[in-house]
């Protein structure tokens, strides 16, 4: 029993979140204030006044010599240099993490310059690293250019970079005033980080395991997020349709998505049957997808409603490549491909029971656990 407890302790992935620059730190403060189980929050900025107001487990003033606590004034090269000044400290802070979220609003100096440097440090340490960044509004033209260059550098060090276009977000939310749109972006990035962290570190209705996350994010490139919410009879299908209709980054070809990560939150009335439907609907819209993983949790405040967050990994975006958006027809998925999806969900449901039973069984090795879970949860296939 003692061995098992020890195993469960070490089997739990260690998660760190680092916010960089003004927007990045605002987002990590949002997360810290909401509370997050199982992650350590670090906030780093070149701007001492802004940093002093943040909530985090660790604050790091970067580039003290170069920026004298006064920010980077919009120059990413300065942000990179400032980060190199504190590389050893950052390395010490993130060392030992299995998963790192790098959070920033791209387009300024600090976040844009710092994020790729932190990603390189994490990559050398072998940490699974997910960048979570926003790109500036359409009206911030030169800042969008800077953000594009920043993303290209960031993808080299990160496993996946989740990109949220502030302009798309504003559009999707019905042309909110700018200030409100920024607050929504903070909440969106913040809840993405929180949801993923909590489903891999805390028991949930359907657990998303570290191995699942790794499988879908590892070769992820650029990822887009879509969100949806539904209530009433057709709540699941409404939530899914909305999530897929409004990816918060333009995608050139939805059908070419490499992987899909689905996160579902519902009230205590959420059933596994409904969870299975979500997976099928998303697969039908992304027919060439190689990997689908999902997690679901119950939020007692959400009775009657279902909230879906879909992360589409390995997408091509005209924002990054500078191409025009070409709408692609969505292919229907053959019945025989849909069926195993339901079986996979049932396997996960069974796996949940097994997890409870594990407390009375001899402990399996970490390697066996990872193999078993990836077999049950990762649905991969060859599809033309």
Ligand X SMILES: Nc1nc2c(ncn2[C@@H]2O[C@H](COP(=O)(O)OP(=O)(O)OP(=O)(O)O)[C@@H](O)[C@H]2O)c(=O)[nH]1
Name the segment binding ligand X (CB under 6 A); options: 20-28, 205-213, 286-294, 363-371: 20-28
Binding mask 130-169 for ligand X (x = CB under 6 A): ----x-x---x--x----------------------x---
Binding mask 44-83 for ligand X (x = CB under 6 A): --x------------------------xxxx---------
Closest CB to ligand X among 108 and 221? 108
Is the CB of residue 206 less than 8 Å from the CB of residue 376? no
Name the segment binding ligand X (CB under 6 A); options: 102-110, 148-156, 209-217, 324-332: 102-110
Q: Which does 105 bind (CB under 5 to 8 A by kind): Mg ion, ligand X, none?
A: ligand X
Size of the site for ligand X (CB under 6 A): 23
Size of the site for Mg ion (CB under 5 A): 3
Q: What is the smallest separation between the CB atom of 185 and Mg ion, expressed in angstroms?
A: 16
Q: Which burial class, exposed, middle or buried, applies to 235 when counting CB atoms under 10 A from its CB (0-12, 13-18, 19+)? A: buried
User: Beta strand 379-380 with 259-266: parallel, antiparallel or unpaired?
Assistant: unpaired
Question: Rounded to an integer, what distance in angstroms lies between the CA atom of residue 12 and that of residue 86?
Answer: 29
Closest CB to Mg ion among 109 and 157? 109
String of DSSP letters for 292-342:
EEEEEEE-GGGTTEEEEEEEEES---HHHH-PPP---PPPPPPHHHHHHHH
Closest CB to ligand X among 140 and 352? 140
Of the chain, the end-to-end C-alpha distance in Å amounts to 48
Name the segment binding Mg ion (CB under 5 A); options: 15-23, 87-95, 154-162, 366-374: 15-23
Q: Which burial class, exposed, middle or buried, applies to 329 when counting CB atoms under 10 A from its CB (0-12, 13-18, 19+)? A: exposed
What sign does the dihedral 236-241-247-252 (CA atoms) show? positive
User: Beta strand 160-165 with 128-135: parallel, antiparallel or unpaired?
Assistant: parallel
Within 21-50, the residues that bind Mg ion by CB under 5 A are 22, 47
Q: What is the smallest separation between the CB atom of 30 and Mg ion, expressed in angstroms?
A: 16
How many contiguous H segments (helices) and E segments (strands) does the chain have?
16, 11
Within 233-292, the residues that bind ligand X by CB under 6 A are none
Question: Rounded to an integer, what distance in angstroms lies between the CA atom of residue 215 and that of residue 150?
Answer: 25
Name the segment binding ligand X (CB under 6 A); options: 19-27, 152-160, 323-331, 359-367: 19-27
Q: Is 63 in the site for Mg ion (CB under 5 A)?
A: no
Closest CB to Mg ion among 111 and 247? 111
By CB under 6 A, name the one of 54, 110, 167, 204 that touches ligand X: 110
Q: What is the smallest separation between the CB atom of 143 and ligand X, expressed in angstroms?
A: 5
Which helix (DSSP H) or strand (DSSP E) does residue 49 occupy? helix 48-52
Is the CB of residue 249 less than 8 Å from the CB of residue 164? yes
Question: Rounded to an integer, what distance in angstroms lies between the CA atom of residue 346 and that of residue 271?
Answer: 12
Question: Rounded to an integer, what distance in angstroms lies between the CA atom of residue 63 and that of residue 110?
Answer: 10
Residues that bind Mg ion (CB under 5 A): 22, 47, 71
Residues that bind ligand X (CB under 6 A): 21-23, 26, 46, 71-74, 105, 107-111, 134, 136, 140, 143, 166, 182, 185-186
């Amino acid at each position: 029993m003692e061995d098992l407890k020890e195993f469960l302790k070490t089997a739990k992935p260690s998660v760190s979140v680092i916010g960089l620059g003004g927007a990045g730190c605002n987002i990590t403060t949002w997360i810290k204030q909401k509370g997050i189980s199982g992650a350590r929050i670090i906030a780093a900025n070149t701007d001492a006044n802004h940093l002093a107001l943040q909530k985090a487990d660790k604050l790091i003033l970067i580039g003290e010599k170069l920026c004298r606590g006064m920010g980077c004034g919009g120059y990413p090269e300065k942000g990179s240099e400032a980060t190199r000044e504190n590389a050893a400290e950052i390395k010490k802070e993130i060392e030992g993490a299995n998963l790192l979220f790098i959070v920033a609003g791209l387009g300024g100096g600090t976040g844009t310059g710092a994020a790729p440097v932190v990603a390189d440090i994490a990559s050398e340490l072998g940490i699974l690293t997910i960048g979570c960044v926003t790109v500036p509004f359409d009206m911030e033209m030169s800042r969008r250019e800077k953000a594009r260059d920043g993303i290209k550098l960031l993808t080299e060090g990160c496993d996946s970079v989740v990109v949220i276009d502030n302009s798309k977000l504003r559009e999707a939310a019905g042309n909110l005033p700018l200030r409100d749109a920024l607050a929504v972006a903070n909440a969106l990035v913040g809840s993405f980080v929180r949801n993923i962290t909590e489903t891999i570190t805390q028991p949930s209705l359907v657990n998303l395991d570290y191995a699942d996350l790794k499988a879908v994010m590892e070769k992820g490139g650029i990822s887009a997020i879509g969100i949806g919410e539904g209530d009433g009879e057709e709540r699941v299908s409404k939530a899914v349709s909305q999530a897929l209709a409004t990816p918060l980054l333009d995608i050139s070809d939805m059908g070419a998505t490499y992987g899909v990560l689905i996160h579902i939150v519902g009230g205590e009335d959420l059933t596994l049957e409904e969870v299975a439907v979500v997976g099928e609907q998303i697969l039908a819209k992304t027919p060439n997808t190689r990997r689908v993983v999902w997690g679901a949790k119950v939020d007692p405040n959400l009775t009657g409603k279902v909230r879906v967050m879909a992360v589409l990994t390995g997408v091509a975006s005209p924002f990054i490549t500078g191409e025009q958006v070409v709408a692609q027809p969505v292919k229907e998925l053959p019945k025989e491909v849909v069926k195993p999806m339901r079986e996979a969900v049932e396997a996960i449901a069974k796996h949940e029971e097994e997890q409870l039973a594990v407390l009375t069984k001899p402990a399996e090795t970490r390697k066996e656990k990872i193999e078993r879970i990836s077999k049950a949860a990762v649905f991969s296939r060859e599809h033309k």
